[in-house]
Amino acid sequence: MKILNIDQIHALDQYTIQHEPIAPINLMERAAQAFVNWYGVRFSSNRPVKVFCGLGNNGGDGMAIARLLIQLDYQVEVYVVRYAPRESDDFAHNHRRLKLLTAPIYIEQPHDIPALRHHEIVIDAILGSGLSRPTEGIIKEVIQGINRSPATVIAVDIASGLYADQPNQAEDIIIEPDYTVTFQLPKLGLLLPKNERFVGEWHIVNVQLHQRFIDQAPTSYYYTMPEEARLLIRKRNRHANKGTFGHALLLAGSYGKVGAAVLAAKACLRSGVGLLTVQTPLCGYSVIQTAVPEAMCLPDTHPYVLTGHTEVDNLPPNNYAAIGIGPGIGKAPETLAMLRDILTTIRKPMVIDADALNLLAANRDLLGLLPERSILTPHPKEFERLTQRWQNDYDKLEILQDFARRFRIVVVLKGAHTAIATPEGDIHFNSTGNPGLSTGGTGDVLTGVLTALLAQGYDPVEAAVLGVFSHGLAGDHAADARGQIGMVASDVIDSLRWEN
């Protein structure tokens, strides 16, 4: 699904109005109805509702939502934050309609702000995507009052005071909602880690804005929806054999970190690879052979770290369908030499993770050797080592795009909404996963998953989008079974499923 910027979203509204065609006031009604449908299945009518409206179209939505809720017998009080003399036409229209049902209360001074109680619901319709400057004056006072209250807060479209597609300043006063119900398309601002407090749990509701405009709108940002990810999964032919699904090589483990190799190997096998060889230091040999009997093991001559040397007959590295390197390998000089060797030899996309990334960061000349369209999977700290410090999340996205473009690679920047940057400069945000994944070894699992997909011949961008989605989904299933606190990386492997 595309993520559009605010200018495009306003143009999309206008396009829908002209080409559906639909009167603006009816489009607002549709948005309000979509919000109320979402609300109705979650909150019972015995929880009093206080709707806070601004004077623009977000406030207009609030007025229409209040009217629809009153008609459904919810107990609703409506507050209008009178911060300016001007009102939008559609606000004014809905204001008139609402006054036929109830008398709104006007907030002009701080003492007009009502007390809010625990069981009440606040609907924040003060400012939406039209935000053009930091909140101040009475708006700021109202937002602070709402944020201090114990009530449940739901933001309409976006929290008042939060920019949808540009950075806020640290001192900005912004609604801190429990939920955001956004219209039609995700906004970039909803996905960024520093905005977490200003987003809460967020949901998209469909208001049927014009699909033709969305299809044609240029963007670099995408959000992976389940149906899009599922479409990428390839069906197996009836006469397939294990050769069809590729032979992968995982280079993983070092003394004390062979578990990382085990996790990556198991995840690789659970993601459909045809054959798997794990190259690990000698100390890992029996571990791999015992813990992952489905994999072959290529013991390195070195007892503790990977050097790339082995006394066992093996395939030349270029003959593997895909190579994944990094989990638990450490940063020994011999391992660096091996990495340099591999990068000079291999000419097909690889998966590069963990200490392999730290070795790249400390030896930047290696970046130029990366096979085109390789997948790098840094967490934010590893990414910072590879690049530079960023000022804010928007700056980080730019650095990410530049880095992926410059080295013609796919960069999977891991986190709550993992951002996958392509060599073409696009970014795909993931929609699955939960904080239960913040536990040792889940990154190793991802490396195994991605290596398996490359070995099966998936294009690296598709492999990254699908692999990250499925890994997050497995994390969600693991959390359902074990809870976010109790789940571990092995549960994620056990929960991997590939169904389209």
Ligand X SMILES: NC(=O)C1=CN([C@@H]2O[C@H](COP(=O)(O)OP(=O)(O)OC[C@H]3O[C@@H](n4cnc5c(N)ncnc54)[C@H](O)[C@@H]3O)[C@@H](O)[C@H]2O)[C@@H](O)CC1
Ligand Y SMILES: Nc1ncnc2c1ncn2[C@@H]1O[C@H](COP(=O)(O)OP(=O)(O)O)[C@@H](O)[C@H]1O
Annotated binding site for (6S)-NADPHX: 57-61, 128-134, 157, 260, 328, 379, 444
Q: Which residue has the tokens 């209250």?
A: 149
Site string for ligand X, 113-132 (x = CB under 6 A): --------------xxxxxx
Locate 209 and state its tokens: 């804005």
Give the residue, chosen from 8, 135, 277, 279, that forms a contact with ligand X under the rule CB under 6 A: 135
Among K ion, ligand Y, ligand X, none, residue 94 binds (CB under 5-8 Å by kind) = none
Is the four-CA dihedral 281, 282, 285, 287 of positive or negative sign?
A: negative
Of 55 and 156, nearer to K ion (C-beta) is 156
Enumerate residues 180-209 that contact ligand X by CB under 6 A.
Answer: 183, 207
If DSSP codes are grouped into helix, strand and coil, which group holds residue 154? strand
194: nearest Cα among 403, 443, 415, 429: 415
What's the CA angle centered on 455, arms 378 and 496, to 5 degrees? 70
Instruction: Determine, following the binding rule CB under 6 A, whether residue 133 of this chain makes contact with ligand X.
Output: yes
Of 19 and 497, nearer to ligand X (C-beta) is 19
Enumerate residues 367-426 that contact ligand X by CB under 6 A.
Answer: none
Among ligand X, ligand Y, K ion, none, residue 124 binds (CB under 5-8 Å by kind) = K ion
Minimum CB separation from ligand X for residue 141, in Å? 12
What b-and-e string marks burial along 55-92, b requiring 16 or more CB atoms within 10 Å of the CB?
bbbbbbbbbbbbbbbbeeebebbbbbbbbeeebbebbe
Cα-based distances in Å from 499 to 232, 246, 472: 10, 19, 15
Among ligand Y, K ion, ligand X, none, residue 352 binds (CB under 5-8 Å by kind) = none
Minimum CB separation from ligand Y for residue 154, in Å? 22
338: nearest Cα among 290, 303, 306, 380: 306
Among ligand Y, K ion, ligand X, none, residue 67 binds (CB under 5-8 Å by kind) = none
Residue ranges for the binding site for K(+)?
58, 124, 160
Of 56 and 415, nearer to ligand X (C-beta) is 56
Among K ion, ligand X, ligand Y, none, residue 443 binds (CB under 5-8 Å by kind) = ligand Y
Minimum CB separation from K ion for residue 146, in Å? 11
Give the residue, chosen from 3, 4, 31, 332, that forms a contact with ligand X under the rule CB under 6 A: 31
Number of residues counted as binding ligand X (CB under 6 A) = 27
Under a CB-based contact definition with an 8 Å cutoff, are residues 305 and 255 in contact? Answer: yes
Minimum CB separation from ligand Y for residue 221, in Å? 18
Of 156 and 465, nearer to ligand X (C-beta) is 156
Q: Which stretch binds ligand X (CB under 6 A): 57-65, 359-367, 370-378, 429-437?
A: 57-65
* Contacting residues toward K ion, per CB under 5 A: 58, 124, 128, 155-156, 160
Locate 12 and state its tokens: 């999309």
181: nearest Cα among 357, 73, 62, 262: 62
- How many other C-beta atoms lie within 10 A of the C-beta of residue 14? 14
Residue ranges for the binding site?
57-61, 124, 128-134, 157, 160, 260, 328, 379, 414-418, 443-444
If DSSP codes are grouped into helix, strand and coil, which group holds residue 431? coil
Of 244 and 438, nearer to ligand Y (C-beta) is 438
Give the residue, chosen from 36, 39, 51, 54, that forms a contact with ligand X under the rule CB under 6 A: 54
Minimum CB separation from ligand Y for residue 69, in Å? 33
Q: What is the DSSP string of 274-317?
A: SEEEEEE-GGGHHHHHHH-TTSEEEE-SSSSS--S--SS----G
List the end-to-end C-alpha distance of the chain, in Å, as a whole number. 18
* Contacting residues toward ligand Y, per CB under 6 A: 354, 379, 414-416, 418, 433-435, 437-438, 440-444, 446, 471
To which H or E segment does residue 351 belong? strand 351-352
Q: Which stretch binds ligand X (CB under 6 A): 22-30, 113-121, 274-282, 340-348?
A: 22-30
DSSP code at position 397: H
Of 188 and 264, nearer to ligand Y (C-beta) is 264
223 forms beta bridges with 429
Under a CB-based contact definition with an 8 Å cutoff, are residues 203 and 186 in contact? Answer: no
Locate 469 and state its tokens: 């989605």
Minimum CB separation from ligand Y for residue 163, in Å? 23
Among ligand Y, K ion, ligand X, none, residue 492 binds (CB under 5-8 Å by kind) = none
Of 88 and 224, nearer to ligand X (C-beta) is 88
Give the residue, chosen from 35, 52, 67, 88, that forms a contact with ligand X under the rule CB under 6 A: 88
Enumerate residues 156-185 that contact ligand X by CB under 6 A.
Answer: 156-157, 183
**Beta strand ranges found along 70-225 (DSSP E):** 76-81, 105-107, 121-125, 152-156, 179-183, 201-205, 221-223
Give the separation between CA 139 and CA 301, rounded to whole angstroms.
68
Minimum CB separation from K ion for residue 431, in Å? 22
Q: Which residue has the tokens 């659970």?
A: 270
Which chain residues interact with ligand X by CB under 6 A? 13, 24, 27-28, 31, 54, 56-59, 61, 83, 88, 127-135, 139, 156-157, 183, 207
